[in-house]
Amino acid sequence: MNREALADATEAWHALTHDALLDYVHRGDARHALRQLLAALARRLGAHCELVALHGDGRVRWQDGAAPGLSAAPPAAAAAIRERPLARLGRRVGLLRLADAAAAAAGDAIEPACEALAALLANDEAVAAPALRSGYVEVVRSALRSGGTYLWEWDIDNDTLGDIDEGMQQLGFDAQHTGRTQRDWDRLIHPDDVEANVEAYERHARGETEQYEHAYRVRAQDGQWLWYQERGRIVERHPDGRPRRMVGTQIDITEQRAREQAGALATARLERIAMHVPGILYQFELDAQLNPRFPYVSERARPLLGMDPQRATTSAMELMDRIDPADREALTASIIESAHRLSLWQWEFRVHAAPGTLRWIRATATPTRLDDGSTVWHGYMQDVTELRELEHARQDKAAAEAANHAKTEFLSRMSHELRTPLNAVLGFSQLLEIDRADSLSDGQRRRVRLIREAGEHLLRMIGDLLDLTRIESGSLQVQLDAVPMQALAEEAIDMLRPQAEVAQVRMALQLEAQALAARADRVRLRQVLLNLLSNAVKYNRAGGSVEMRVAAARPADGKAMLSITVQDTGVGIDAADLPHLFEPFNRLAQARGSIEGTGIGLSVTRALVTLMQGRIEVSSEPGVGSSFHVLLPRA
C-alpha cells in the first residue's frame, strides 16, 4: 500500500474509533465502548472479530465476539485466526483475533483501532482493580493523541473551554494568551464557516442530531488556514433542558482535504477531457466473488447509451441489462478469461441504447489484479454501428461487383459465340432469296424473309449486348474527331426512311448551318442517331412525324457544344418511368406491348454519348410525343 493510500485508510480507522472513545468519555463505561468498537471493526472488515481481555498474569478476564451483522458469533476455525497482541504502557492487556484475510486486508491501517482497544481494556481493568484506576483518563487521552485527535470540554454556562491547550499548541498558539472561551475560539474560525458551525451546534442542542459534527477552516498562528474536523456531544443539561456541559474532539484534516480537492480536480479534469472523446471511458471491477461494478463511467454514456453514468456506477446491472441477451453469455465468458489470464480484453457486442434502438459497441480494456483478489479494467467503448454497416455494405458491393463482372464476362462470351451460327443462318437465308436456279415459291420466299428479318433483329440485339458488355468492362474505345453533321444526319435518316415509310411516319431534318461539326467518334455517333431515330419511328403512330434538329449550343458553363434533338409524335413516356428510361433491359410500359425490343438500345446510347464527353436528356408527354436532346462538344 503506498503512503497516500495508507494515510487515507488510517484516517478512516481514526474516524471508526472516535465514536467509541467519545462514548467512553461521556459514559465512563469502558466495556460498553469496547463492544461498540468491536462491532464497528467487524462491519468495516466484513469478518468476525473477537476480543480477549487478559489479567496482568496472562489469564483470560473475559472475551467477546462480533460478526459483521452486529450479532455475536462463534470464533472461526483456529487455523483461520490471526491473533494481534494489545498492550498498554508496556503491559499486555488483551488479544484481538481476526480472520487471516481480514487482517491482511487491514494491514498497518488498523493500528489506531488497536491503540484504542488497548486503552479501553486498560481502563476496564482499572475499574476492576482499584489499584490501577489512577491515570485512566490520561490513557484515553494518549490513545486519541496518538492519532492526532485532541479532547476538549466546554462549560456552556461559564463559556469556558477546558483541555484546550493541546489544540492551541497544534495551531502554534499559547492558550494563556489567546483566551479559553468559545468566543475566543470562534475568532480563529474562517468568517465564511462561522454561521454553518453555529448551526451544526444548534441542531444538536435542539436534539435534531445525535452528535455535533462539522468541518471548518481555522487560522493558525502563522496565518495559514487549516481544516479541522470537530465532533462533540452534550453530556449534561439543566433541568429545563438547556445544555450545560459538552465534550468533544478535534482533528487536523488539512492534508486529507487537500487530497480530496486534488482528487476532485483530477476527476473534473478527466470529465472535461472525456467529453471530447467520441467514445466512453470507463473503469470496471470484478471482485474475488465475481461481483461486477463500474467505479467510473464517463459522461459520453448518456448520448451513446441513453443512460445516466451515475446510475451505472451505483449498479452494474444498469449497463449489463442493456446488453443484448444473445451476446451476454459470450461476453461474460470473455471477461472471466481476461481476468484469469490478465490479458487485453477486446469484444464487440450489441446494446439496447433505447427502446427499438440496437447499437454495436466495441470495448477494449486492460486488466490489473489488486491485492484483495479483485480485478480492475481501465478501458474504452465506442459505437461501431456505422462501421459495421459500412463493412457490410463494402462486402455487399464487392459481391455485387463480382457478380456483375461474371455476368459481363458471360454475356460477352455468349455474344461472340452466338454471332457465328447466326451469321450462317442469315447467309443461307439470303442465298435462298437470290437463288435463281432453284427459285422458291411465293410462300417459301415469305417464310425465308421472316427468317432473315428475325435473324437481323437478333444480330442487332447481340451487337447491342456486346457493346453494353464492352462499355461496362471499360474495353470499348472511341476515337474523337471532327464529324460533319449534315452528311451523317442525312445518312442516318436515309437508312431509316424505308422503316418510316412502312410505319407511315414522315421524317425531316433541320440544320442550323451546313458547316456544323461535332467532336465525336463517327461510327458511334451514327449508332446513337440510328438508335434514337429507330425508336422515334417504332413508337410513333400512323401519320405521325419524326424531326431531327442540329444546332449550335452554348450551355451555362460557356463551352461550345452541338445540340442534336430527335422529336417524335409517338405514344410518349409516363413521368414515373422517365428516371428508369436508360436502365438496361428495362422496357418500362412497352414490356407488355406488341413492339419488339430488348431495352438495351437506350442504355448503350447514353453510354456512348458519355464516352464522347457529352450528355443526353429526355422530355416527354404521354399521347403527345418525346424529345431526346444530345449535347456533344463542337469541333
Return d(Cα 160, Cα 169) in angstroms, integer: 18
**628 is a domain residue:** yes
Q: Are residues 295 and 349 located together in one domain of the fold?
A: yes
Q: Are residues 573 and 523 located together in one domain of the fold?
A: yes
CB 53 within 8 A of CB 62: yes
So what's the pLDDT on residue 133? 44
Tell me which residues of the chain have a pLDDT lower than 50.
1-3, 5-6, 70-73, 75-79, 130-134, 136, 591-592
What is the Cα 217 distance to its own chain's centre?
43
CB 478 within 8 A of CB 470: no
CATH number at residue 350: 3.30.450.20
With 0-12 CB in 10 A as exposed, 13-18 as middle and 19+ as buried, what is 143? buried
Those residues whose C-beta lies under 8 Å from the C-beta of residue 175, and which sit 6 or more positions away, are 164, 165, 168, 169
Element of type H or E holding 117? helix 111-128
CB 374 within 8 A of CB 288: yes
> Phi and psi of 451, rounded to 5°?
-60, -45
Q: Are residues 138 and 10 located together in one domain of the fold?
A: yes
> Phi and psi of 330, rounded to 5°?
-65, -40
**Total Cβ atoms within 10 A of residue 99:** 20
Q: Are residues 141 and 158 located together in one domain of the fold?
A: no
Identify the bridge partners of residue 527 per DSSP, sorted by sequence position.
Answer: none
CB 618 within 8 A of CB 626: yes
Q: Are residues 587 and 465 located together in one domain of the fold?
A: no
Return d(Cα 435, Cα 97) in angstroms, integer: 125
CB 619 within 8 A of CB 627: yes
Those residues whose C-beta lies under 8 Å from the C-beta of residue 467, and which sit 6 or more positions away, are 476, 527, 604, 607, 608
Return d(Cα 593, Cα 590) in angstroms, integer: 5
Q: Are residues 235 and 118 located together in one domain of the fold?
A: no
Q: Are residues 354 and 449 located together in one domain of the fold?
A: no
Which residue from 18, 24, 19, 143 is spatially nearest to 89, judged by alpha carbons? 143
Return d(Cα 100, Cα 107) in angstroms, integer: 11
**613 is a domain residue:** yes
Return d(Cα 615, Cα 630) in angstroms, integer: 6
DSSP 191-244: HHHHHHHHHHHHHHHTTSSSSEEEEEEEE-TTS-EEEEEEEEEEEEE-TTS-EE
Amino acid found at 60: V
Q: Which one of 105, 122, 145 terminates a domain? A: 145
Question: Based on the structure, what is the number of domains in the chain?
Answer: 5
**23 is a domain residue:** yes
**263 is a domain residue:** no
Return d(Cα 541, Cα 624) in angstroms, integer: 10
Q: Which range marks the domain in which residue 457 is found?
A: 389-472
CATH number at residue 579: 3.30.565.10
Q: Are residues 512 and 603 located together in one domain of the fold?
A: yes
Q: Is the pTM of this model over 0.75?
A: no
Reading the block at residue 170, the C-alpha cell is 497544534
CB 489 within 8 A of CB 565: no
CB 13 within 8 A of CB 113: yes
DSSP 139-196: HHHHHHHTTTEEEEEEETTTTEEES-HHHHHHHT--HHHH-SSHHHHHTTB-HHHHHH
Q: Are residues 40 and 134 located together in one domain of the fold?
A: yes
Task: Give buried/exposed letters for 314-340 (b at 16+ CB in 10 A, else e).
Answer: eebebbeebbeeebeeebeeebeebbe
**420 is a domain residue:** yes
CATH number at residue 416: 1.10.287
611-615, long-range: CB within 8 Å, 24+ apart, which pairs? 611/471, 611/476, 611/478, 611/521, 611/524, 612/478, 612/480, 612/519, 612/520, 612/521, 612/524, 612/525, 613/480, 613/519, 614/520, 614/561
**512 is a domain residue:** yes
Q: Are residues 394 and 513 located together in one domain of the fold?
A: no
Q: Where are the alpha helices (DSSP H) in 28-74?
A: 30-45
Q: Are residues 22 and 116 located together in one domain of the fold?
A: yes
DSSP 520-562: E-HHHHHHHHHHHHHHHHHT--TT-EEEEEEEEE--TT---EE
Q: Which one of 114, 145, 176 terminates a domain? A: 145
Q: Are residues 211 and 305 located together in one domain of the fold?
A: no
Q: Which one of 82, 113, 145 terminates a domain? A: 145
